[in-house]
Amino acid sequence: MNQAQFTYVAMPARVVFGVGAAQKLAAEVAALGVKRALVISTPGRAQMMREVAKGLDIAGVFDQAVMHTPVARVEAARKQAADVKADCCVVVGGGSTIGFGKAIALTSGLPIIAVPTTYSGSEMTTIWGVSEGGAKKTGRDPKVLPRVVIYDPQLTLELPPAISAASGVNAMAHCAEALYAHDGNPIVSIMAEEGIRALALSLPTVVRHPKDLEARTSALYGAWLAGSTIATTSVALHHKLCHVLGGLGLPHAETHAIVLPHALRYNAAAASAAMQRIQKVMGADDAPTAIWELEQRLGLPMRLADVGMQAADVEKAARIAVQAPYPNPRKVEYEPVKELLQNAFEGRRP
Ligand code: NAD
C-alpha cells in the first residue's frame, strides 16, 4: 500500500454496537421510515430471530436461508417479499443469511437492516453472490449494502467454538489482505491492524470460554473492522485461491483459515510493511508463523486434506488460480502457487 498516493472510498454505514444493541432494532427500523419488515434467518437461527424481532412490525418471516444462496431458494424469498409487500428486510444471522437479504435487495432495492451473528463481515460490503448448478455468480452493488448494522455480542454467545474460530480467522484474513491490497489506503490499514489485534487477542478466550462476553465483544468488534476493510479494497491471492477451492466444494471459513498462513508466506517478502504491521499487533516476529500457531491454539483444522480436498485437486486448483491475472504483491505463478497449495494440503508449518 502506497501512503504517498491513494484513493479513499468510504461506504455509508450506520453501525449500532454493544451488549443489548439488538433491543434497538425496532427504533432503528422506525428511523428508516419503513414499516413492513420481511425477517430472514436460517432454520437454526429462527428462534433467535423471532426474539430479536419482538416489537417490530413484521410483514413476513422467511426462516429458510441456507448456505451459498442457491437461486431457487432466493427466488422463493424474493417472491415472499413481494407477496407480503415488504418495505425492508431484517436479516438475523451469519453470512449465509445476510446473502439472502442482499439477493432480495439486488432485484427489489429494499433496504436491509442487518443483525450479524458471526464474524463473516458480509454486512459491511456491497458484495452479493448467488449460486446455480454449482457455479457462484458474484458482484458488487451499492443497493445491497445494509442501511443499518446492529452488532450485539450477546447474540454470538451460542456460536459454537469451532465456527467462531474459523469465522474469526476468516475475518483476520480480510484484514491481512487489506494491508497489502493494491488499492489500500492509510485509513483501511488502521482498521485492518486494529481488526487483527482485536481478533487475535479475543479468539483464544472465545474458544475456551464461548460465553465470555468481553471476549465476544472484542471478536465482534474485530469482525466489524474486518468487514469494513474488504468493503472498499480488492482481495488478492488468498481470497482468490479460496474462491477456487470453494468451487471444489470446500467449506468457506475453514478453507480461508487454512490457506491464510501459506498465502502470507507466499507474499511475505513482497509485502514486508504489511507483515510488520501484523507482527506488531500480534507481538510476534513472523506473521505467517504467528497466524499458523494461533490457528493451532484455536483447534482449527490445519490441512486442506482435513476439509475434503483431494490430492489431485492441488494441481487443478493451482491451474485455475493462475488463469486470470489479478493484482497481488508477488507475481501469481503456477509452480509457487502449487507449492503453496501442497503445503496447505499437508498442513505444513509455513
Ligand atoms: P453461515 O452464515 O453459514 O453460518 C455458519 C453456521 O453458524 C450456520 O449453521 C448458522 O446457522 C450458525 N450460526 C450463525 N450464527 C449463530 C449463532 N449466533 N449461534 C449459533 N449458531 C449460529 O456462515 P458465515 O461464515 O457467517 O458466512 C459464510 C457465507 O458468507 C459464505 O457463503 C460466504 O460466501 C459469505 N460471505 C459473504 C461476504 C460478502 O461480502 N458478500 C463476506 C463474507 C462471507
Distance 151 CA to ligand 1 centre (A): 14
Nearest CA to ligand 1 atom 4: 94
- For 304-328, write each residue's pLDDT tens digit: 999 999 999 999 999 999 998 899 9
Provide mean pLDDT across the span 195-217.
98
Distance 205 CA to ligand 1 centre (A): 20
DSSP structure class, residue 308 = T
Q: Is 205 helix (H, G, I), strand (E, B) or coil?
A: helix
Query: In angstroms, how far apart are the furthest CA atoms of the chain?
Result: 58
Looking from the CA of residue 45, the nearest atom of ligand 1 is: 11
CA 39 to chain centre: 21
Distance 158 CA to ligand 1 centre (A): 13
Q: Which residue has the cell 483476520?
A: 172
Distance 124 CA to ligand 1 centre (A): 14
pLDDT of residue 135: 79
CA 106 to chain centre: 19
Distance 97 CA to ligand 1 centre (A): 7
Measure Cα distances from 119 to 24, 89, 172, 186, 308 in Å: 20, 20, 10, 23, 23
Nearest CA to ligand 1 atom 2: 94
227 has a pLDDT exceeding 90: yes
Q: Which residue has the cell 448456505?
A: 67
Rg (CA), the chain: 19
189 has a pLDDT exceeding 70: yes
pLDDT of residue 2: 55
Nearest CA to ligand 1 atom 5: 94
71 has a pLDDT exceeding 90: yes
Calpha distance 324→320 (Å, rounded): 8
Candidate from 68, 136, 225, 252 with most ligand 1 atoms within 8 A of CB, to mutate = 252
Calpha distance 331→340 (Å, rounded): 13
Candidate from 122, 138, 242 with most ligand 1 atoms within 8 A of CB, to mutate = 122
- For 87-112, write each residue's pLDDT tens digit: 999 999 999 999 999 999 999 999 99
Calpha distance 337→348 (Å, rounded): 15
Q: Is 137 helix (H, G, I), strand (E, B) or coil?
A: strand
Nearest CA to ligand 1 atom 30: 95
- For 1-14, write each residue's pLDDT tens digit: 556 889 998 899 89
C-beta separation of 32 from 11 below 8 A:
no
Q: Grid coordinates in use for 278?
A: 501484523
Residue 129 corresponds to which amino acid? Answer: G
Distance 156 CA to ligand 1 centre (A): 12
Calpha distance 197→219 (Å, rounded): 10
Report the predicted TM-score, pTM, of the whole model to 2 decimal places: 0.96
Q: Grid coordinates in use for 190?
A: 488502521
C-beta separation of 216 from 199 below 8 A:
no
Q: Grid coordinates in use for 232?
A: 472498499
272-282 vs 252-267: helix crossing angle, rounded to 10 = 120
pLDDT of residue 133: 83
Ligand 1 pocket (Cβ < 6 Å) reads 42, 44-45, 67-68, 93-97, 99, 117-118, 120-122, 125, 127, 129, 155-156, 158-159, 163, 167, 252-253
Q: Grid coordinates in use for 66?
A: 441456507
Distance 79 CA to ligand 1 centre (A): 23
**Nearest by Cα to 121 from 93, 147, 95:** 95
Distance 66 CA to ligand 1 centre (A): 9
Nearest CA to ligand 1 atom 21: 159
Question: What's the pLDDT band for 247 if we cut at 50, 70, 90?
Answer: confident
Report the 10 Å Cβ neighbour count for 79: 12
Q: Is 1 helix (H, G, I), strand (E, B) or coil?
A: coil
C-beta separation of 238 from 268 below 8 A:
no
Calpha distance 169→222 (Å, rounded): 10
- For 14-48, write each residue's pLDDT tens digit: 999 999 999 999 999 999 999 999 999 999 999 99
What is the CA angle 49-50-54, rounded to 5? 115
Query: What phi and psi values does residue 164 have, to the nearest 5 degrees?
Result: -60, -45
Distance 6 CA to ligand 1 centre (A): 32
Q: What percent of the chain has pLDDT over 90?
A: 94
Across the chain, mean pLDDT equals 96
Query: What phi and psi values does residue 208 have, to the nearest 5 degrees?
Result: -75, -40
Query: What phi and psi values does residue 74 have, to the nearest 5 degrees?
Result: -60, -40
Q: Grid coordinates in use for 203?
A: 479468539
In terms of pLDDT, which residue wins out, 9 or 214?
214
In terms of pLDDT, which residue wins out, 136 or 141?
141
Looking from the CA of residue 125, the nearest atom of ligand 1 is: 40
Distance 252 CA to ligand 1 centre (A): 9
Report the 10 Å Cβ neighbour count for 135: 8
